[in-house]
Structure 1
Amino acid sequence: MKTEHVMISISIAAALATLPSIALASTSNAALADLNTAEAPRVTQAVNSSVVSTLNNTHLAFLTNAAPAGQVEDSLPMNHMQLILQRSALRSSALQSLINAQHDPSSPKFHQWLSPDDFGATFGVADADIQAVKSWLATQGFTVNGVYPNKMQIDFSGNAGLVRQAFRTQENRYVVNNVTHIANASDISVPTALRNVVVGVAGLNDFRPQPLHVPPQVAQFDKSKNNFTLKQANASTAGKPGNPMVNFSGGVRGFVPYDMQTIYNVSPLYGKSLTGAGISIAVVEDQDMDPSDWPNFVKQFGLGQYGGTFKQYQPQLTPSTGNCTDPGGANAAGESIETVLDSEYSTAIAPGAHIWVATCADSDTANFFGGVYTAADNLINNSKAADRPNVISASYGYGEGFTDAASKSAIDLMWAQADAEGISVFVSSGDSGSNPSFNGGVINDVGVDANSFATSPNDTGVGGSDTADILDGTTSKYFNSKFNAVYGTAKSYVPEITWNTSCGNTVAAQKLVNLSALQFCKNALIYDPYGFYVTSESGSGGPSSVDIKPSWQRIVHGAAKDQSRDLPDVSLFGGSYGGYSWVILCTGSYPCTANFATPVELVAGTSLSSPMFAGIQALIDQGLSKAGLSPNQGNAAPTLYELARSEYGGPTGSTPATLSQCDSNNGTKGTSNCVFYNITEGGNSTQCIQVAELSQTTPDCYFYGTIQNYLQTYGPTKVGLTATSTTKYNSNTAAYAAQAGWSFANGLGTVNAKNLYAAWKSFVNAP
């Protein structure tokens, strides 16, 4: 071993000696013409595998005290891990300055977007440093599959034994929530000579994020009532947590594209021939859909006239690393509802757009975010401009508390690159209130967290709202009693509240029983002694514990006075209290038929909100392109906050009249000129638990009672509401209440698409 080490050191030292002392960025892009990011290689010593340094936070902290179920055998393949590289402070600062300029209409670099090669040459790691890392990986027995064009990540494969030897960490098995996972037991180590250029390895654990939608329901249309009857009633899932406490009798309703187009005032843009034509929206997934679903959806809801297109494929790098193969599921039996939802409801808003369903198999990679991450990463790094989308929607998530540092760095790197290339990225904020990691369950262990896939300052996080008409008793004012020719019933914009299915829904508590949410929850214990209806299902929002607040998030009334990147940025319809309102899907198992003669599938969640906002962005992109400007806008959030400041006012000083005029509660009264509908009622404070039998400790939870035998299985369990205080619960401590201006509940609120387009066009000085 010592002889091998000496030879490796000599060979790498010799290679370094032949390299130039300064690494020059080479590009012809005008945006980079006056930018000097030239620097010397930072690996300046021979790489000695016996002299190592530990990289902090490179294992999952929540597993630190967990007892492993056993060690992973050395022969276990670990394919397509990503070694994430660390750019220098000089290049990090230069990149941030450029992105700021790319979003500033007064800058000559405004909308001067980069290619992946430009990005890598100017802001990546020096070639000499990359070669040093590659050489070390090869000497450790790994196969290097390729270096990404961004020069920030190396795709490599091996097995658990090589990981143990090279990175000095043991891969173990852990059982969490009755599911067996693999993860490294400790932080990794790398040769000290490489420490300055290595962040860590993404792919040492398999805690996959989940799609952010509510379990779909199958429903049959009831012509006599003009609504739908659930064939899989919520009561059938008794014995599991997360069921709505209140089920509205007489059926449920299913929204269709026409309803979403009407509520958010999208339809007038179609009259201007803005349908998303020529704009590509990529939805990134880890499972296929039945390709017959999309044309069925387009036909059923009258969208074929707009000329949109659809393709489902596996995006590859050039040359290919082999890290993206077909995950399967392109049939009725195996398709992913998430994939169907994303493709159909991006089309619902932008029916003329090119819909790219980009899928990669989870099994191809050990990376934490699996095929979803790989699909997005490969799209963003594609060498051909025509093969890079204008817009990406990602509807998956997991909290930062469940994400290791290397995987988080990889996510943020990816979205920053997309932004610099002009790609607009929208990510669902989550479906479980103040912590996105408990979709379909109940918050425990950690009360406040944010979706690690969305907290980058270079994407736009989209939360979930609910129409207020059901609880307000105003449905006839905003909806017709009969379908139109494309099955729509919406008349106009509808007042909205935060989507929250729990007893923490302040609007439901007041409207239904005239109680506070806290008392509503206490009363619920009487009727639910085993906690079968305890739930955390709600649109998610919260502060990042990793990413700092970008300057543009500080400029609007209501902005949180913290140092964190906060979610969400905006919201759209995500679901309803009591499970009354859904959207209709056309799936392989339940294809849509004329007049809904056969059953359909209904679904909800912020997985709906994100692709719909991606559709709105596609309409804006097409309009600006027609005006002679770039069809790419990069991250939408900086512009959205600038426009919101005009309407809501800044963080200090007097507020403009439009802050109250654009309150969502006003409905259509006085809001015809509003860009944003400010949601000021409700909140996403939901239920949380602490199970004594499991020795849990759940922070950020105000406990109001005890379930004596939770789910008739777990024994005494404390139940509470998520809060920033454990000793008192009110509108100031609930995590989190809606408010005027920006809020953790709904961000800037929802939008009037027609007015948003006009304001955006003015902001970028479009002719």
Structure 2
Amino acid sequence: MKTEHVMIGVSIAAAVAALPSIALASSSNPALAGLNTTEAPRVTQAVDNRTVSALSNTHLSLLDNLKPTGSVSDSTPMNHMLLVLQRSSSRQSALEALIAAQHDPASSKFHQWVTPSEFGETFGVADADIAAVTSWLVSQGFTVHGVYPNKMQIDFSGTAGQVRQAFRTQESRYMINHASHIANSGDISIPVALRSVVLGVAGLNDLRPQPQHKQPQVAQFNASTARFKIQKSPSDAAKPANPYAVPFTGGVRGFVPYDMNVIYNTSALYSAGLTGAGITIAVVEDLGMDNSDWPNFVAQFNLGSYGGTFTQFQPQLTPSTGNCTDPGGENPFGESIETVLDSEWSTAMAPGANIWVATCNDAGSTNFFGGVFTAADNLINGTSRPNIISASYGYGEGFTDSASKSAIDLMWAQADAEGISVFVSTGDSGSNPSFNGSIINGVPAIDANSFATSPNDTGVGGSDTADILDGTTSKYFSSTMNSVYGTALSYVPEITWNTSCGNTRAAKDLVNLSALKFCKTALIYDPNGEYTTSESGSGGPSSVDIKPSWQRIVHGAAKDQSRDLPDVSLFGGSYGGYSWVILCTGFYPCTTNFTSPVELVAGTSLSSPMFAGIQALIDQGLSNLGLSANQGNAAPTLYELARNEYGGATGGAPSSLAACNADNGTKGTSKCVFHNITDGGNSTQCIDVAAFSETTPDCYYYGTINNLFGFYGPTQVGLTSSSTTTYNSKTAAFAAQAGWSFANGLGSVNANNLFSAWKKFVNAP
């Protein structure tokens, strides 16, 4: 039987000494000058297992409407869970004040960053409290692997039985979004004495962030048309004609780095010697890639002369907790397309940068919380840290328990305080990012990516080039490729990326109808819903994080109290599947003139690493001027710069708001930092599957599918909306608009103009 009554006494000092934490903070750091966060321990009572308290919201609330399909055996390993600690309110306030000062050019602490050990000593939980919690975990039979340097997380392992006994919750099996998952069936309980310092446990369920990219397509290049022909599967070939189709012929186009360099004007920075040299971008992943892919990509598109580097590794803590093991995938047959995409397209924008592919395993029962989180967390707490992190993964806040959400937000706040710029894809399924590759159903249709809603990261959404629907391709693209296979001539007007019939621009340009009428008409030709989709760039309000002050200052800002997504957007995909980007993969390597098949891909998984690449150019430029190469979270600066162009949240809009409209193209926006995307929206299709007794709030139903995908039976289909009785531009979730919007945030950027404005903001010489 486990010890039921643990006394905290003189053994605390020995316990603290045994913990693998990092040395105390140095008072010489200007960031910490005048800051005193010394406090007494908050665990002041004996830790008694007979007196416990439940921690609310520490299980997935969506489980309340589900019945378990079975219990998890007590012997099931639960490895590398994280006990998430809670700092005091005074230390929380001090951290928030420091981060605000770090982003304020008028402050003496501007761009004065801290180390992980300084962060832990100043803003973490007191050593005595950590020792008390650790002693209790050990007394319950758990193995404690270590305390993170941030002094906010304890890595520990055990079994489902030990979880049940210690935390008073049963691990059960559930069908969630039509897949089998493990989760704790109720809130956890802990001894009352520990309540003030424990937020919860991350790793009690196996819902992990999912990659945010479209299903890649294998395509063969046709030199005569300079287009790619997608190789259709037998099931795709058997589908009826697509009623939403764009009338193009001759194949699809595959964008190359040159195209994005021209469209977003990074090429002007290359000419000035800014390529990202000396800056490190880490992409965090849960599966590896073939090591020959990146060199192949660099060679194919003539990027080798810029001097970028590539390293693939498993980031470990010192001393190691053993929580990051090799997930494999370093071969053509097992690699992750997500990892290939992130590494190659961050390089596409910053060809001189150092690319770190940081991977940790989340397969099976080795880490319930997920390798993507572990890779990022270990980097941020490591001795060698990147300047920039890109995370192209996500899931909705509705699929995230409170402890996991707290751990995510704690992690990105620490990154910000250390000066690391974090970019996160906002998602690929419209107003709810949890349905990439499927259709929004069974949960509220309005949600936001829990991996991106922290106020300490920058959420990147997806746009689409407008030329195909406008019929203006010849104006913006050459009919022949140059020596590096590029065709872009200039910036191309953008709309929101949305592949569904909810795309208002497609409805207007193709059939001159509203989106709602377009959807109703298409249902006549697609009665079984073969082309029903929620695929679109994602955006929406957080139900957890409050709106940061910097998000309130720009024209168009939502008048809510929520942290809203996205912050910015870059190309994510196209309506009708006409435009993609090219990957060089292990199974389909790139060859000169594309004589062999390649893989084409799209999604906000592309948008995030591309913006990370743009940030690397800015970081190098500022470093060359003698300023910090680290900028911390980019969002506060981006919103300040956008306010100069778009105007503030109140008062009249300046003339530059209209001048910077993306519809104006290069001529109209040549002097703008931002391209304000005002057309389209990310309202997509949603369903109510009677066969599963599922209802979908925030869905305006407009019709019935006879037999969804041939086996679901009659299914209601609708469009995501804030109203179930009315659907228009005001209720659609969500329409693009002038200024900031849930569809595209602040819009996309002209990288050269962004750098010029950024220099001015930080008072660069």
TM-score relative to the length of structure 1: 0.97
User: Does 2:272 match 1:272?
Assistant: yes
Distance 1:499 1:369, change over 3 A: farther
Query: What is the CA–CA distance in structure 2 between the aligned matches of 1:371 and 1:19, rounded to whole Å?
Result: 29
CA deviation profile, 1:241-264 (whole Å, cap 9, x unmatched)? 999655743210000000000000
Distance 1:125 1:268, change over 3 A: same
User: Does 2:569 match 1:574?
Assistant: no
Distance 1:536 1:237, change over 3 A: farther
Partner of 1:430: 427
Q: CA deviation at 1:239?
A: 7.6
Partner of 2:475: 477
Query: What is the CA–CA distance in structure 2 between the aligned matches of 1:213 and 1:244, rounded to whole Å?
Result: 21
Partner of 1:677: 675
Q: CA deviation at 1:369?
A: 4.5
Letter in 2 for 1:544: S
Distance 1:18 1:394, change over 3 A: closer
Secondary structure at 1:718 match in 2: strand
Partner of 1:488: 486
Query: What is the CA–CA distance in structure 2 between the aligned matches of 1:72 and 1:61, rounded to whole Å?
Result: 19
Contact 1:58 1:406 in 2 (8 A): yes
Q: How is 1:299-318 mapped onto 2 (pairs within 5 angstroms)?
A: 299-318=299-318
* 1:596 counterpart (594, 606, 610): 594
Q: CA deviation at 1:28?
A: 2.8
TM-score relative to the length of structure 2: 0.97
* 1:463 counterpart (461, 464, 470): 461
Partner of 1:397: 394
Distance 1:629 1:24, change over 3 A: closer
Contact 2:91 2:123 in 1 (8 A): yes
Structure 1 portions without partners, runs of 5+: none
Contact 1:242 1:535 in 2 (8 A): no
CA deviation profile, 1:280-313 (whole Å, cap 9, x unmatched)? 0000000000000000000000100100000000
Partner of 1:517: 515
Q: Provide the aligned C-alpha RMSD in A.
A: 1.9
Secondary structure at 1:462 match in 2: strand
Q: CA deviation at 1:365?
A: 6.7
Partner of 2:256: 256
Contact 1:242 1:441 in 2 (8 A): no
Secondary structure at 2:702 match in 1: strand
User: Does 2:325 match 1:325?
Assistant: yes
Distance 1:390 1:17, change over 3 A: closer
Partner of 2:120: 120
Query: What is the CA–CA distance in structure 2 between the aligned matches of 1:17 and 1:600, rounded to whole Å?
Result: 60
Contact 1:24 1:39 in 2 (8 A): no
Structure 2 portions without partners, runs of 5+: 17-22
Q: CA deviation at 1:351?
A: 0.1
Partner of 2:550: 552
Partner of 1:205: 205
CA deviation profile, 1:548-573 (whole Å, cap 9, x unmatched)? 00000000000000000000000000
Secondary structure at 1:438 match in 2: coil
Distance 1:652 1:307, change over 3 A: same
Query: What is the CA–CA distance in structure 2 between the aligned matches of 1:243 and 1:343, rounded to whole Å?
Result: 36
Secondary structure at 1:509 match in 2: helix
Contact 2:205 2:369 in 1 (8 A): no
Q: How is 1:73-222 mapped onto 2 (pairs within 5 angstroms)?
A: 73-222=73-222
CA deviation profile, 1:625-678 (whole Å, cap 9, x unmatched)? 000000000000000000000000001101111000000000012211100000
User: Does 2:603 match 1:605?
Assistant: yes
CA deviation profile, 1:494-549 (whole Å, cap 9, x unmatched)? 00000000000000000000000000000011011111111000000000000000
Query: What is the CA–CA distance in structure 1 between the aligned matches of 2:677 and 2:736, rounded to whole Å?
Result: 7
Bigger mean CA deviation after superposition, 657-666 or 707-716: 707-716
Query: What is the CA–CA distance in structure 2 between the aligned matches of 1:577 and 1:312, rounded to whole Å?
Result: 34
CA deviation profile, 1:157-213 (whole Å, cap 9, x unmatched)? 001010000000000111234422111110000001000100000000001221000
Distance 1:695 1:660, change over 3 A: same
Partner of 1:420: 417
Partner of 2:748: 750
Q: CA deviation at 1:714?
A: 1.9
Query: What is the CA–CA distance in structure 1 between the aligned matches of 2:366 and 2:335, rounded to whole Å?
Result: 22
Query: What is the CA–CA distance in structure 2 between the aligned matches of 1:754 and 1:238, rounded to whole Å?
Result: 47
Partner of 1:542: 540
User: Does 2:62 match 1:65?
Assistant: no
Secondary structure at 1:180 match in 2: strand
Query: What is the CA–CA distance in structure 1 between the aligned matches of 2:667 and 2:58, rounded to whole Å?
Result: 53
Contact 1:584 1:602 in 2 (8 A): yes
Contact 1:83 1:200 in 2 (8 A): yes
Partner of 2:286: 286
Distance 1:118 1:240, change over 3 A: farther
Partner of 1:388: 385
Q: CA deviation at 1:693?
A: 1.9
Query: What is the CA–CA distance in structure 2 between the aligned matches of 1:537 and 1:514, rounded to whole Å?
Result: 22
Contact 2:25 2:119 in 1 (8 A): no
Bigger mean CA deviation after superposition, 175-184 or 101-110: 175-184
Query: What is the CA–CA distance in structure 2 between the aligned matches of 1:596 and 1:26, rounded to whole Å?
Result: 55
Letter in 2 for 1:433: G
Letter in 2 for 1:5: E
Contact 1:281 1:355 in 2 (8 A): yes
Distance 1:177 1:723, change over 3 A: closer
Secondary structure at 1:322 match in 2: coil
Query: What is the CA–CA distance in structure 2 between the aligned matches of 1:426 and 1:455, rounded to whole Å?
Result: 11
Query: What is the CA–CA distance in structure 1 between the aligned matches of 2:344 and 2:367, rounded to whole Å?
Result: 28
Distance 1:260 1:121, change over 3 A: same
Partner of 1:738: 736
Contact 2:81 2:369 in 1 (8 A): no
Secondary structure at 2:581 match in 1: strand
Query: What is the CA–CA distance in structure 2 between the aligned matches of 1:302 and 1:19, rounded to whole Å?
Result: 56
- The alignment-based identity, stated in percent, is 75
Bigger mean CA deviation after superposition, 618-627 or 669-678: 669-678
Contact 1:203 1:407 in 2 (8 A): yes
Contact 1:241 1:711 in 2 (8 A): no
Query: What is the CA–CA distance in structure 1 between the aligned matches of 2:505 and 2:269, rounded to whole Å?
Result: 33
Letter in 2 for 1:80: H
CA deviation profile, 1:77-136 (whole Å, cap 9, x unmatched)? 111000000000000000000000000000000000000000000000000000000000
Secondary structure at 1:634 match in 2: coil
Query: What is the CA–CA distance in structure 2 between the aligned matches of 1:167 and 1:329, rounded to whole Å?
Result: 36
Contact 1:431 1:439 in 2 (8 A): yes
Distance 1:245 1:380, change over 3 A: same
Query: What is the CA–CA distance in structure 2 between the aligned matches of 1:401 and 1:329, rounded to whole Å?
Result: 30
Partner of 1:5: 4
Secondary structure at 1:669 match in 2: helix
Q: CA deviation at 1:269?
A: 0.4
Distance 1:169 1:248, change over 3 A: farther
Contact 2:43 2:196 in 1 (8 A): yes
Secondary structure at 2:47 match in 1: coil
